[in-house]
Amino acid sequence: MVQELTLEQKAMAKRIMIPLDYPNAEQASVLINKLEGIPCYMKVGMQLFYAAGPEFIKDLKRRGYSVFVDLKMHDIPNTVKGGAESLTQLGADMFNVHASGGSAMMAAARTGAAAAVSINPSLSMPLIIAVTQLTSTSQEVMNSEIGISGNVTDTVVRYAKLAAEAGLDGVVASPQESAAIAAACGPAFCTVTPGIRPAGSSVDDQSRVMTPGQAIRQGSHYLVIGRPITGAEDPYQAALNIIEEMTQA
């Protein structure tokens, strides 16, 4: 039986992003049906987008969901501009680019999105966010393999400032960096934070994690929560438990 959420619970649910990491639309739809009644964001990444295509985004929009298209664009500015225009035409509520692509590339993403809206005023301008450092990246990997010196937080904040200067709406970062980003870029600058794990959950392939309550207290705007919900025996109840923790934070 679907539980009627309070207004506060609905507000928190809209800050949860569920990654639909499935090989096809049919498997993704099984989870979506189990979460019926929870007005969360749906995050469509590379695996599902490449398999199900743009039509799946349109279907999620028809069902009333906000959609984060997580393709992490990283290319020359003109190519990213075209990609941003296409995703905006699809109705994406949010999409991302890699901050390491530089300020011109990030600004081009905004230009492309604005072009789509100017052609079709019925469209809304999506939130455009930049990936700083993946939450699977440890400091050792960042220093010794990626070749960036210093600590992770300093790198993330530097990328966040660059994204803000390029006119983007926020960044993807670990919840451990949310407070530092807010201090550097202002509290309205969005932080989308993967690496969310309820207490006692496996961290899986994440290196920098927090519980949902901790992330809210640190100032995260959106929480990407995958396996603790998608891998649960009862995804709906798992989501409700997390929403309750968030409302009490």
Active site residues: 72
Specify the 3-state DSSP secondary structure of 7: helix
Q: Could you tell me what percentage of the chain is helix, strand and coil, using 3-state DSSP and rounding each to the nearest 5?
A: 50, 15, 35
Structure tokens at 200: 């006692």
**What is 26-74 written as a DSSP string?**
HHHHHHHHHTTT---EEEE-HHHHHHH-HHHHHHHHHTT-EEEEEEEE-
Distant-in-sequence, close-in-space partners of 7: CB < 8 Å, separation ≥ 6: none
115 close to 93: Cβ distance less than 8 angstroms: no
Rounded Cα–Cα distance for residues 20 and 30 (Å): 10
Degrees (nearest 5) of the Cα angle 92, 94, 98? 120
Q: Give Cα 238 to chain centroid, integer Å.
A: 19
Based on the number of CB atoms within 10 Å of its own CB, is 183 exposed (0-12), middle (13-18) or buried (19 or more)? exposed
Nearest CA to 99 among 4, 20, 165, 176?
165
Cα–Cα distance, 106 to 163 (Å, whole number): 7
